[in-house]
Amino acid sequence: MERQLPYAIVELLTKSARTQILERRGLFVRDNLVGEDMLYHWEPEAVINELPWVKIDSNGYRNAHEAKSQIDVVLLGDSVTIAQNSRKDMAALLNEKDLTTLNLGFSSYGPLHYRDPYKKTVLDANIAARVVVINFCYCNDVTDAQSYERLKKIGKNWTDYLGTTPVRNAFPFDFEPPWIISILFNAPYKIVQNFRNKQNGNARMKIELPRTLVDIPLAGWSRTPKLFSDRQWAPAIQGLLETIKLAQVEGTHVILAYYPNLSQIYMKYITPSNPFSAAAHQEYNDAIFRLRSVADQSGNDFVDYTPAIQRAHGDQMVSTHDGDYHPNEYGVKVMVDTIYPIIKKNL
Task: Give residue-wise pLDDT tens across range 60-92.
Answer: 999 999 999 999 999 999 999 999 989 999 999
Is residue 168 over pLDDT 70? no
The predicted model gives 229-238 an average pLDDT of 97
Mean pLDDT of 157-169: 66
DSSP for 297-342 reads HHT-EEEE-HHHHHHHHHHS--BSSTT--SB-HHHHHHHHHHHHHH
What integer pLDDT is reported at residue 9 of this predicted model?
Answer: 79
Compare 15 and 254 and report the one with higher pLDDT: 254
Of 1 and 250, the structure prediction assigns the larger pLDDT to: 250
Strands (E), 12-118: 33-36, 39-42, 70-76, 101-103
The mean pLDDT of 95-114, rounded to a whole number, is: 97
Whether the per-residue pLDDT at 202 is higher than 80: the answer is no
The strand ranges marked E within 88-127 are 101-103
Helices 230-249, 141-153: axis angle to 10 degrees equals 90
User: Above 70 in pLDDT, residue 116?
Assistant: yes
Phi, psi dihedrals of residue 206, rounded to the nearest 5°: -90, 130
Highest mean pLDDT: which range of 195-209, 266-280, 331-345: 331-345
How sure is the predictor about 164, in pLDDT bands with cuts at 50, 70 and 90? very low
Range in 121-125, 202-206, 297-301 with the lowest mean pLDDT: 202-206
Res. 207: pLDDT tops 80: yes
So what's the architecture of 2-169+177-345 in CATH?
Answer: 3-Layer(aba) Sandwich (3.40)
The model's pLDDT over 21-40, given as tens digits with 9 standing for 90+, comes to 766 665 555 567 899 999 99
> What number is the average pLDDT over the span 111-138?
97
**In the chain, pLDDT over 90 holds for what percent of residues?**
70
Mean pLDDT of 148-173: 74
Comparing 144-148, 190-194, 222-226, 319-323, the range with the smallest average pLDDT is 190-194
Q: What is the pTM of this model?
A: 0.85
Average pLDDT of span 310-337: 95
What mean pLDDT comes out for the span 167-187? 70
Mean pLDDT of 167-184: 69
Give the pLDDT score at 197: 54
pLDDT at residue number 200: 47
pLDDT at 94 over 80: yes
> What's the first-to-final CA gap in the chain, in angstroms?
50
When the pLDDT of each residue in the chain is averaged and rounded to a whole number, the result is: 89
- Cα–Cα distance between 105 and 117 in angstroms, integer? 9
Residue 220 has a pLDDT of 77
User: How far apart are the C-alpha atoms of 155 and 193, rounded to whole Å?
Assistant: 32
Do residues 238 and 152 touch, judged by C-beta distance below 8 A? no
The pLDDT of residue 65: 92
CA distance linking residue 272 with residue 221, whole number of Å: 15
Residue 302's φ and ψ, nearest 5 degrees, are -125, 130
Backbone phi, then psi, for 7, in 5-degree steps? -60, -30
Q: Is residue 173 predicted with pLDDT exceeding 70?
A: no
